[in-house]
Structure 1
Amino acid sequence: MVKSLLRRPPGPPPPGATGRAGVDRRTKNLTKRLRPGEVAIIDHDDIDRVSAEALVACRPSVVVNAGRSITGRYPNVGPQIILEAGIPLLDDVGSSVMDAVRDGDWVEIDDSVLRVGGADVATGRRLTPDGVQAAMVEARAGLSDQIEAFAENTMAYLVREKDLLLDGVGVPDIRTDLEDRHALIVVRGYHYKEDLQALRHYIREFKPVLIGVDGGADALVAAGHTPDLIVGDMDSVSDATLRCGAEVVVHAYRDGHAPGVERVQNLGVTPVVFPATGTSEDVAMLLADDKGASLIVAVGTHATLVEFLDKGRKGMSSTFLTRLRVGSKLVDAKGVSRLYRTRISLGSIVAMLLVPLLVLGLALSATPGGAVLLNLIGARWDDLWAALTGVFS
């Protein structure tokens, strides 16, 4: 709360101001505190889908990018999502803007120029839907180079982590029981909210082990669930969720260094440390597989090659190999929601209500007293029906 007040000093906006600036080099950190109507200033090459959707949810007046929203490495859809939401995108203004504008400053944007206190501090270019579409066409033409680089990174990762991938060497012991149970792994990624909503009946009926990967644990809590296991480097999960009683596994660097351990321990929670080279969602999948989960349902994780590239880092090759390692156990949440239906249908419920009534009617008709009661009910029904038809006629 103190930080929020410091970065938004009181007072009316100066003449011509577009809005207060929210400044952060890491887009996911900015979206945690950005308020509607503010100007989002980021430094993000190749804005990916997840980052774009997070920015749109904050409803900024303008997005200013110090980097290049589309570098041409691959066809990233982030800029298109921002423009389709009606949010202007001022692109490639230069990294100096991150130092020239402070968090909470009133800024003015006039066409392609960003001003603070009437002084020009950065100039970029406004992206348009047509310009983004043309850039996407060019990016698709160079996609083969990215695929080759991805394949090289995949082989390099396989050499480094062959013992972990093939034999499970280095997977730590945990107290959470996954043996012969379903595991639901939630990453705050692609369409995670919709997938969690679609899986509510599945979660209620099968009661899978709920595993949140960093911010995915907060996503589970927001959907009304309590995670059983939290996995990640702990840079994007809230303190309240870490204290919810779930077992915490901190993803560490391969040398054992884990920056997130101190934060977890300061909250009074004793974590398990898992050193591994890949991403935190890889660690969660390997952990669930090694501990005997019979089925792994993935929410918000990366499923396609474009999604791997959209993450924008070499480490995504590990996710590809991890999916091969887990094999047939892994099911994407969308597949579960399409195939799964609650076992008790509406027709079954109606049948359950009608059958006892039918049996009761047969039992009553077999006794003299019951027959009299049925005749009385029939007479009352005739009177009611006659009254209704009289009203409507």
Structure 2
Amino acid sequence: MRISLRRSTSVVTEPGTSGPARVDARTKALTKRLKPGDVAVIDHLDIDRVAADALVTAKPLAVLNAAKSISGRYPNLGPEILVDAGIILIDDLGSGIMSISDGRELRLEDGRVFAGEDLLAEGVRQTSETIAVSLDEARAGLSEEIERFAENTMDYMRRERELLLDGVGVPDIRTVIEGRQVLIVVRGYHYREDLATLRPYIKEYRPILIGVDGGADAIIDAGWKPDMIVGDMDSVSDRALACGAEIVVHAYRDGKAPGLERVQALGVEPVVFPATGTSEDIAMLMADDKGAELIVAVGTHATLVEFLDKGRSGMASTFLTRLRVGGKLVDAKGVSRLYQHRISNLQLTLLSLAGLFAVIMAMWSTAAGQTVFGIIGARFDDFTSWIGALFGGA
């Protein structure tokens, strides 16, 4: 759309439709400094579900997108999540919106963005109705995206067949995985709830905990310490990197590793793993190659729409990686929604009474228990006699 400095002749400020701008082309980076009431200014084609969940958690007043939140390539779920959460979403504002200075006060009117009396940009105000129409159109054109995904899958297979088939290129690590179960945590859909549900499993089996980038922070926030952190280190905190876990930096095939310098600056010497694909792929491949007995995955991508939602052609690698790992992989994503307890207060009361009755009967069956009940009965008789004498005297 267009950028303008035209003045508005009659501007009425609606309550709750103005706030300071927070600008960043990378949504993941922006969510770390967003505060409730801010106006998030992003350039994110096809807002994915993970980005939307992070934005909802930050509670901005609005999201201004320079690009189209739904391009029509596939039915991405991010815009619907934002609008359902009550966040204003204005689309297709054009690249000029990214030049707004951080902290500048913005006012929103339908699809228009003002700074004071100046109209800065006009876009499309998304609603539940407009999003529903866009998603229907995207579903109709999904076949073309599936074809591209298949082409990317074959391309990845040709380039990484030695790694996929024979494990060639997997680096040596000090963490002993042979014969152990491994829990890989990706900061994806419902990862917090799934980690909470898996708490008894982690306590009993003590699996090797591998955090993929920000997944390491998720492990720490849940009260554990990761044994290994894998990723390009763009979304993991310094706190996690300095926790003592073994660090495996995901590098490009040519050996370039953008996250290497950051890790070394913290005084940690990491292992470098050059490979195509995603960091969650190499975490699974490494666990499998090093002899993991079982691989449990939390927050990873599993469906076609989730692969496309990631917004990169390299997601085809995750599909092949899952085929490579095979029967070792247990996908725990969504396990927290598999079963939820529905116990009423009446059921809890009856259960408590049944337990109390069982304890009483167990005590009555012993000589010591009968003695205790005899003493209690005598004390109760004394109490009732005292009450009777008290009222009788009155």
Normalising by structure 1, we get a TM-score of 0.85
Q: What residue is the counterpart of 2:175 in the other structure?
A: 176
Map of 2:128 onto structure 1: 129
How far apart, CA to CA, are the structure 1 residues paired with 2:297 and 2:262? 27
Aligned-residue CA RMSD in angstroms? Answer: 2.8
Secondary structure of the corresponding residue to residue 96 of structure 1: helix
**What residue in structure 2 maps to residue 39 of structure 1?**
39
Contact 1:48 1:78 in 2 (8 A): yes
Residue 240 of structure 1: CA displacement? 1.1
Equivalent residue pairs, number: 360
- CA shift for structure 1 position 259: 1.2
Q: Does 1:90 align with 2:86?
A: no
> Stretches of 4+ moved more than 3 A in 1?
334-341, 373-379, 381-388
Q: For residues 95 and 158 of structure 1, do their structure 2 counterparts lie closer, same or farther at Cα, with a shift above 3 Å needed? A: same
SS in 1 for 2:248: strand
C-alpha distance in structure 2 between counterparts of 1:26 and 1:114, whole Å = 21
Change in Cα spacing, 1:385 to 1:110, as seen in structure 2 (3 Å) is farther
Query: Aligned AA for 1:159?
Result: R
Residues 9-59 of structure 1 show CA distances to partners (whole Å, capped at 9, x for unaligned) of xxxxxx957110010001001001111100000001111110011111111
| Cα displacement string for residues 203-234 of structure 1 (whole angstroms, at most 9, x for unaligned residues) | 11111111000011111111111111000000
Residue 22 of structure 1 contacts residue 30 of structure 1 at CA under 8 Å; is this kept in 2? yes
- Give the equivalent residue in structure 1 for 2:3: none
1:119 aligns with 2:124: no
Letter in 2 for 1:296: I
In 1: Cα distance, 2:256 partner to 2:58 partner: 34
Matched, 1:266 2:265: yes
Alignment of 1:339-378 (within 5 A): 365=367, 374-375=370-371, 377-378=373-374
- Structure 1 unmatched ranges of 5 or more: 1-14
**Residues 30 and 387 of structure 1: CA distance in aligned 2, closer, same or farther (over 3 Å):** same
Q: CA deviation at 1:312?
A: 1.2
Q: Matched residue of 2:306: which SS? A: helix
Q: Counterpart of 1:313 in structure 2: which amino acid?
A: R
With over 3 angstroms needed to count, the CA separation of the structure-2 counterparts of 1:387 and 1:84, relative to structure 1, is farther
- In structure 1, give the amino acid aligned to 2:174: R
C-alpha spacing 1:172/1:377, structure 2 compared with 1 (3 Å): same
Supply the distance in 2 between the matched residues of 1:235 and 1:376 (Cα, whole angstroms): 66
Residues 376 and 185 from structure 1, CA distance in 2 versus in 1: closer, same or farther, beyond 3 angstroms? closer
Question: Residues 120 and 292 from structure 1, CA distance in 2 versus in 1: closer, same or farther, beyond 3 angstroms?
Answer: same
Partner-residue secondary structure (3-state), 1:277: coil
Partner Cα separation in structure 2 for residue 64 and residue 166 of structure 1:
45
Cα distance in 1 for partners of 2:215, 2:239 equals 14
Residues in 1 aligned to 2:382 and 2:129: alpha-carbon distance in whole angstroms: 69
Decide whether the 8 Å contact of 2:241 with 2:263 is kept in 1. Answer: yes
Aligned to 1:54: 54
Shift in Å, 1:200: 1.0
The residue matched to 1:47 in structure 2 has which SS? coil
State the match for 1:252 in structure 2. 251
Tell me the distance in 1 between the aligned counterparts of 2:319 and 2:51.
Answer: 21
Q: Which residue of 1 aligns with 2:324?
A: 325
1:233 is aligned to 2:212: no
Report if aligned partners of 1:181, 1:294 keep a CA contact under 8 Å in 2: yes
Q: Aligned to 1:231, what secondary structure does the other structure show?
A: strand
The aligned counterpart of 1:9 is none
* Cα distance between partner residues in 1 of 2:382 and 2:226: 59
The amino acid that maps onto 2:288 is D
Could you say which residue in structure 1 is the equivalent of 2:140? 141
TM-score normalised per structure 2:
0.85
Distance 1:382 1:135, change over 3 A: farther
- Per-residue Cα deviation, 1:130-176 (whole angstroms, up to 9, x for no partner): 11001111111111111111111101100000000000000001011
Q: 2:382 matched to 1:380? A: no
Matches of 1:335 and 1:68 in 2, distance apart? 29
SS for the counterpart of 2:233 is coil
Counterpart of 1:68, as a letter, is K
1:156 equivalent in alignment to 2:123: no
In structure 1, how many angstroms separate the alpha carbons of the residues matched to 2:205 and 2:236?
26
Change (3 A) 1:113 1:314: same
Quote the residue 2:390 is aligned against: none
Q: What displacement does 1:273 show?
A: 0.1
Gaps of 5+ in 2: 1-11, 341-347, 388-394
Question: Is the Cα–Cα contact under 8 Å of residues 194 and 335 in structure 2 kept in the other structure?
Answer: no
Q: How far 1:110 sits from its partner (Å)?
A: 2.1
Identity of aligned residues (%): 63
Paired with 1:338 and 1:83, the residues of 2 have a C-alpha distance of 23
CA contact (8 A) 2:189 2:333 kept: no
Q: Distance in 2 between matches of 1:214 and 1:374?
A: 62
- Could you tell me which residue of structure 1 aligns to residue 312 of structure 2? 313
Higher mean C-alpha displacement, 328-337 vs 84-93: 328-337
**How far is the alpha carbon of 1:111 from its aligned partner?**
2.0
**Cα pair 1:202 1:340 within 8 Å, conserved:** no
* 1:199 CA drift (Å): 0.8
- Could you tell me which amino acid in structure 2 is paired with residue 162 of structure 1? R
Residue 376 to residue 37, structure 1, CA distance change in 2 (3 Å): closer
- Cα pair distance change 1:385/1:58, threshold 3 Å: farther
